[in-house]
């Protein structure tokens, strides 16, 4: 039987655009970026190695040691950034989210972070001048993201939104910009670029920014928290996540595993609140 031309075109359209019909509106995706505390600096412990199958990570680099390939979804067993990074706030953010959301909802995270970097590394128009002055160890990390971490984050986000809906952005950065009074404006440049490049609405996609190690833990960059606190004045749909009481490591720069768990839960509690959910469980 001959297929009518109009029907043939329709069938071809369906086949070519089948991914549009596979998007799950109950798959909530969150973009994570920043420097070492978002990358994850603490040793992964036994309690961190089991995870609800509703919590997934989109791998942003190839990790043969983990059996993961860039651009694919996997169970969100840490590490969630690159192949050998540690525990990150994203871990217990995702766990707390699935514990408090309806069973039909899944959570996916994408984590593109670079230890030691300034926020300038994520400025798509000026990152090259900053990267050209970076130390060799940082350049090696940047190379893992194809030489452009911002572009890799956008690339992965575009893949992810074929499967679900981008609901928010998590940032933890600031140690390398300590005392930089222009930091909030620089963050806004990155946020605005993400909104534009991913065709997202600022009113629907909140930005959550965590404080650096708090003064109550002897944080060596704690003074930066007074600048981070002003972010909502520059980005209306943004929220600051307190690090007060989040236990840090000996260097007073990074959190320890328990500190990351605490901070990650706080990111989730704020996101759930913004989304209109009540927090009933912590993970």
The strand pair at 73-75 and 238-241 is best described as unpaired
| pLDDT of 22 strictly over 90 | no
The pTM of the whole model exceeds 0.85: yes
Tell which residue, 22, 103, 112, has the closest CA to residue 55: 103
- What average pLDDT does range 171-184 have in this prediction? 98
- What average pLDDT does range 229-251 have in this prediction? 98
Q: Which residues are catalytic?
A: 36, 251, 254
| pLDDT of 7 strictly over 80 | no
Find out whether 255 and 238 touch, Cβ atoms under 8 Å.
Answer: no
| pLDDT of 177 strictly over 70 | yes
| Main-chain dihedrals φ then ψ at residue 75, nearest 5 degrees | -55, 140
Structural domains in the chain plus CATH codes: 23-274 (3.40.50.1110)
Q: Where are the alpha helices (DSSP H) in the chain?
A: 5-16, 36-39, 89-100, 127-131, 136-144, 149-160, 183-197, 225-228, 231-234, 257-274
Q: Could you give the 3-state DSSP secondary structure of residue 49?
A: coil
Task: Read off the pLDDT of residues 189-239 as tens digits, 9 standing for 90 and up.
Answer: 999 999 999 999 999 999 999 999 999 999 999 999 999 999 999 999 999
Tell which residue, 45, 31, 83, has the closest CA to residue 258: 45
């Amino acid at each position: 039987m001959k297929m009518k031309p109009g029907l043939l075109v329709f069938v071809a359209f369906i086949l070519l655009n089948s991914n549009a019909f596979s998007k799950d509106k109950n798959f909530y995706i969150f973009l994570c970026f920043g420097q070492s505390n978002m990358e994850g600096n603490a040793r992964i412990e036994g309690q961190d190695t089991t995870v609800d199958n509703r919590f997934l990570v989109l791998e942003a680099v190839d990790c043969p040691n983990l059996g993961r390939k860039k651009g694919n979804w996997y169970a969100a067993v840490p590490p969630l950034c690159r192949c050998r990074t540690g525990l990150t706030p994203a871990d217990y953010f995702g766990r707390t989210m699935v514990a408090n959301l309806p069973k039909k909802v899944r959570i996916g995270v994408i984590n593109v972070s670079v230890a030691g970097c300034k926020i300038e590394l994520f400025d798509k128009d000026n990152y090259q001048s900053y990267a050209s002055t970076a130390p060799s160890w940082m350049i090696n990390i940047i190379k893992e993201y194809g030489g452009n971490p911002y572009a890799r984050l956008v690339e992965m986000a575009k893949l992810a939104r074929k499967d679900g809906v981008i609901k928010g952005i998590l940032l933890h950065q600031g140690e390398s910009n300590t005392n930089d009074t222009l930091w909030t404006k620089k963050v806004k440049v990155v946020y605005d670029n993400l909104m534009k490049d991913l065709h997202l609405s600022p009113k629907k996609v909140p930005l959550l920014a965590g404080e650096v190690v708090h003064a109550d833990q002897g944080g060596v960059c704690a003074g930066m928290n007074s600048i981070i606190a002003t972010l909502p004045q520059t980005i209306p749909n943004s929220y600051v996540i307190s690090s007060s009481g989040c236990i840090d490591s000996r260097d007073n720069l990074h959190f320890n595993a328990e500190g990351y768990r605490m901070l990650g839960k706080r990111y989730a509690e704020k996101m759930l609140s913004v989304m209109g959910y009540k927090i009933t469980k912590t993970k």
